[in-house]
Each structure stands twice: as structure tokens, then as C-alpha cells.
């Protein structure tokens, strides 16, 4: 087949002979790519519909009041369960982790791209890439064996706390924030920087007044993406947060998140029970929140000027 094609190309003009087979290839390629896209879209829709169906059952089949479910605390796997403590816990961990990771991440991104370009790209970048690749269970283990006792012995409380969750998740999302921020800063045209230097601005003035404002929408995207990851993180959080089903009163109190309750309770429920349905509803909240994060990212990136 290949030989025949070769001799053909030798005898005829290149364009003419290849015409039919390249058209065929075009068609095949288009079909393949199109199929991939359709499968991905179907999967997304299927997950949304399935989770929606399972999550909504709680409110229609078991007559749980949506308002009570979202605003009250007290979780016992019955119709009276309220998920507010977990919603609060998830948001608390997410925002605290972002508060901790965003300055560090953006700071190291600036260092890597503006201050120590060579050194930064050679060493810092691989270090951050390694951080991305570490599985969350490892972060959880380190959290349980190092951070939890550290907090217990030097700060107070049990150690299993919001603070421990915030640190572990913060470190987990740090590389996400750093690498996206670094890309964003690198994408800023050097003309702008040169202009700033040309006007006599120092390096710090340039970073502070030019680079950060110019990259701000992308930096926000980096932070929101990090937060989305923090919100969905289950394993590492579950290992260090203590999974107490009440509202935490301080950073040193144990708490629980939507994800940690799902992984804790799911094996003990029977399919179709109230308890099981309630957990699906928690999953639906997670899905809705991830849509919200995506919408925020879309909105923020649409404001990008450069």
C-alpha cells in the first residue's frame, strides 16, 4: 500500500495525487476530534443530570425542606439533618487556604519570572511541578503526622482543626496558583515593562504598579482555580480536620467539610436511604459550587485587557 502510493507520487504531480487521500484523511480526522468532543460533552451533561436527579430526591421523595437542609446544623442521617456546618466548613477551608496560598504563590511567581529568571526557572519551576504531582493522601499523611501534633503542642487545642486543614490545603493549591500566575506574568508584553523602566521606575515600582495590575485578571483566575481545587479536596482535609459535625468557633476547633462527610458516611449507608440521598445532595452542592467557580473564572478572564 505504502509502496504503491510512493510510486504514484513519483509518476504524478504531488498535489493532484494526494488530493483524494488527503480529503479522506481530513474527514477521518474531523470525525475523530468531533467524537472526542461529543463524548466529553455527553459525560459532563450525564454527570450533571445524574447528580441532579440523585441530589434532588432528598427534597422530593423524603420531603426534606431545602431551607432547613441549607441553613441548620445537626447531622444524624435523618430527614432533619442540616448541612450548614459542612457548607460553612468547606468555604472556611477554601477561603483560608486561598488567603494563605495566594500571597505566597503570586510572590514566588513574581520571583521566578521577574527577579531571578534563570535560577527561578531552573530550580523553582521543577520544585513547583513536583508539588503538583504529589498525591493528596501524602499531603494528608504529612498533615496528620507533622502539622496536627505541631498545632496541638505549640498552639493549642486538639490539633485536628480548621487551621490544620487550611495549611494542608493551602500547600496543596500553592503550586496551582504559582504556575498559573507565572504564566500570566510571562505573558505580559515586555514593551510595557520596558516603558516603565524607561520612565525611570525601579524594579519594585514596575512590579507593583505595572506588572501586577496588568496581570491581575489572570492572577485572580489562578486564585479561583486554586480555590476550586481546595473546595473539592476530600482526602487530605478529612485526615486533618477532625470531622466534627458542629460549627467551629475558632481556627483551632475541629470542623467538617462537604467532601469529608460524603467519604465518611457513604460506605455505611444503604442505597436509596434518606442518609444516602442526603449525601448525594451534598454532592450536588459541590457540583453547583464548581459551576459557580467556573462562572467566576469566565467572568474574571473576560475582563483581561492584555
Beta bridge partners, 255, equal 242
Residue placing its CB nearer to another protein in the complex, 64 or 215 = 64
213, 229, 116, 137: which is closest to 175 by C-alpha?
229
Residues that bind another protein (CB under 8 A): 2, 18, 21-22, 25, 28-29, 32, 35-36, 75-77, 149, 152, 158-160, 238, 242-246, 254, 256, 263-273, 275-276
Phi and psi for 284 in degrees, rounded to 5?
-65, -40
91, 83, 47: which is closest to 65 by C-alpha?
83
Residue placing its CB nearer to another protein in the complex, 62 or 91 = 62
Query: In whole angstroms, how close is the CB of 78 to another protein at the nearest point?
Result: 9
Q: What letter would DSSP give residue 242?
A: B
Residue placing its CB nearer to another protein in the complex, 35 or 71 = 35
Distance (Å, rounded) from C-alpha 181 to C-alpha 185?
6
Query: In whole angstroms, how close is the CB of 256 to another protein at the nearest point?
Result: 7
Residue placing its CB nearer to another protein in the complex, 114 or 233 = 233
Query: In whole angstroms, how close is the CB of 199 to another protein at the nearest point?
Result: 50
What's the chain's length in residues?
306
Residue placing its CB nearer to another protein in the complex, 27 or 126 = 27
Distance (Å, rounded) from C-alpha 74 to C-alpha 21?
67
Yes or no: say if 143 and 236 are a contact pair by the CB < 8 Å rule: yes
Query: In whole angstroms, how close is the CB of 170 to another protein at the nearest point?
Result: 21
Residue placing its CB nearer to another protein in the complex, 181 or 277 = 277
Query: In whole angstroms, how close is the CB of 237 to another protein at the nearest point?
Result: 13
| Cell 502539622 sits on residue | 147
Query: In whole angstroms, how close is the CB of 242 to another protein at the nearest point?
Result: 4
Distance (Å, rounded) from C-alpha 286 to C-alpha 298?
18
**Cell digits for 79?**
430527614
Distance (Å, rounded) from C-alpha 102 to C-alpha 297?
15
SS3 303: coil
Residue placing its CB nearer to another protein in the complex, 133 or 267 = 267
Amino acid at each position: 500500500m505504502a509502496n504503491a502510493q510512493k510510486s504514484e507520487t513519483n509518476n504524478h504531480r504531488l498535489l493532484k495525487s494526494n488530493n483524494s487521500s488527503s480529503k479522506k484523511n481530513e474527514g477521518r480526522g474531523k470525525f475523530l476530534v468531533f467524537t472526542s468532543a461529543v463524548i466529553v460533552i455527553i459525560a459532563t451533561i450525564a454527570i450533571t443530570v445524574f447528580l441532579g436527579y440523585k441530589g434532588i430526591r432528598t427534597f422530593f421523595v423524603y420531603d426534606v425542606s431545602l431551607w432547613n437542609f441549607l441553613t441548620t446544623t445537626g447531622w444524624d442521617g435523618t430527614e432533619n439533618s442540616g448541612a450548614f456546618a459542612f457548607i460553612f466548613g468547606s468555604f472556611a477551608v477554601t477561603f483560608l487556604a486561598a488567603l494563605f496560598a495566594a500571597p505566597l504563590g503570586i510572590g514566588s511567581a513574581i520571583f521566578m519570572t521577574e527577579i531571578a529568571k534563570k535560577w527561578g526557572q531552573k530550580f523553582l519551576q521543577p520544585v513547583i511541578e513536583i508539588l503538583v504531582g504529589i498525591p493528596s493522601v501524602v499531603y494528608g499523611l504529612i498533615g496528620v503526622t507533622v502539622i496536627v501534633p505541631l498545632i496541638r503542642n505549640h498552639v493549642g487545642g486538639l490539633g485536628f482543626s480548621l487551621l490544620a486543614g487550611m495549611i494542608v490545603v493551602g500547600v496543596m493549591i500553592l503550586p496551582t496558583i504559582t504556575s498559573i500566575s507565572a504564566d500570566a506574568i510571562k505573558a505580559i508584553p515586555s514593551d510595557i515593562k520596558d516603558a516603565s523602566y524607561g520612565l525611570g521606575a525601579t524594579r519594585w515600582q514596575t512590579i507593583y504598579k505595572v506588572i501586577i495590575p496588568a496581570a491581575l485578571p489572570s492572577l485572580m483566575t489562578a486564585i479561583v482555580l486554586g480555590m476550586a481545587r481546595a473546595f473539592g479536596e476530600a482526602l487530605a482535609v478529612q485526615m486533618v480536620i477532625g470531622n466534627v459535625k458542629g460549627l467551629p468557633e475558632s481556627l483551632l476547633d475541629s470542623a467538617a467539610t462537604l467532601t469529608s462527610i460524603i467519604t465518611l458516611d457513604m460506605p455505611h449507608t444503604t442505597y436509596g436511604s434518606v442518609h444516602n440521598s442526603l449525601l448525594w445532595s451534598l454532592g450536588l452542592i459541590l457540583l453547583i459550587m464548581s459551576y459557580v467557580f467556573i462562572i467566576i473564572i469566565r467572568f474574571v478572564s473576560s475582563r483581561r485587557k492584555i
